[in-house]
Amino acid sequence: MNIAIGSDHAGFDLKTILVNYLQNNSTYICQDFGTYSPESVDYPDFAHLVADAVATGQYDKGILLCGSANGVAITANKHATIRAALCWQEEIATLARQHNDANILCIPARFVTTETAFKMVDIFLNTPFEGGRHAQRVAKISCYTK
């Protein structure tokens, strides 16, 4: 599975840990889209890169981090085929995949432990979409005009 990952400065440290974690697992090919230092940057620059990579099918799923994860989630969700989910607990990550078919996990780096981040990543990358009644709901997410 190909994973795109990115963060702003607030998510840099945890992103670096997650990149190493994913690269040490032979199941994943992980591409780091930046930022590459803890110096202040604008989160949309990296959220758009990851969202584009997932939206175009180059990567199967994405992971984005910033301080609260709100900024990266809002930005990524501007892309029509992206369903970016802000997750702070394992159960939220599970439901994001099972019920919403989320394709980008957004982690609030200032509010989760490394252990929780590892667990959420594992859950997010390995939990299938349930489909069924959820499929019709997910189909209604993209904007449309009447």
The DSSP symbol for 130 reads: -
- The 10 Å CB-count burial string (b at 16+, else e) for 67-77 is bbbebbbebbb
Catalytic residue, from 30, 66, 87, 106: name it: 66
The dihedrals phi and psi of 142, each to the nearest 5 degrees, come to -60, 145
Quick check: is 66 catalytic? yes
List, by residue number, the catalytic residues.
66, 99
